Structure 1
Amino acid sequence: MSTLAVELHPQAVNVEFTSVAIVVELADGRTLSAPLIWFPLLSSASAEQLANWQLLGDGEGIHWPDLDEDLSVAGLLAGTHRTSLAQ
C-alpha cells in the first residue's frame, strides 16, 4: 500500500480574490479558497489594498502592508479564521 506525503510546510505562490473569497495557489499545485467574511480586514479592504500583498518567508504566510494583516498558509489549510475584529 502506498501513502501520500503530507506537505508539512505548504507554500503560497499566488493570491487572488473573487467578490466573496480569497484564493491561494500553493507551490504543490493545490488551490485553496476561504470566504472573505472570515477575515474582516480583508473583506472591508479596497481592491487596491487587496492587490498589495507580499509573501512571507518562502510563502508560508501572506502579508498586506496597507492593512497590517498577516495570514499563514497552514492556518488557512486548517480552517482557522477570525469572524470579528474583536478576536
Structure 2
Amino acid sequence: MPLFTTRKQEKKVKITFNDTLLVVEAEDGKQQVFPLAWFPKLLNATDEEREDWVQTAKGIHFNKLDLDVAL
C-alpha cells in the first residue's frame, strides 16, 4: 500500500539580482531569470527591500514591497 502525505516539502531557493535581472535558483541548480523591467518596484527597490522576502506556495513574496513573483 502506498504511503501518501498531505504535507508539501518546503522548497528552498536562492535569490540574486544584477543590474537588470532577478535570478531565482532552486536547490537542484535550476534557474529562472526575470527582467527587472517586469517588476518596477524591484527595479527601484533598495537592497533592504529586496532582501526581505519569503517563499510562498506560488512563488516569492517581497514583504516590504508587497510584491509577488510567481514561479
Equivalent residue pairs, number:
61
Identity %: 36
Q: Which runs of 5+ in 2 are unaligned?
A: 1-10
Q: Which runs of 5+ in 1 are unaligned?
A: 1-10, 74-87
| Length-normalised TM-score, structure 1 | 0.62
The alpha-carbon deviation at position 26 of structure 1 amounts to 2.0
| Length-normalised TM-score, structure 2 | 0.74
Q: Which amino acid aligns with 1:13?
A: V
1:54 match: 54
Question: Which of these two proteins has the greater Rg computed from alpha carbons?
Answer: 2
Which 4+ residue blocks in structure 1 deviate beyond 6 angstroms? none
The alpha-carbon deviation at position 29 of structure 1 amounts to 2.3
Highest RCO, 1 vs 2 (Cα 8 Å, sep ≥ 6)? 1
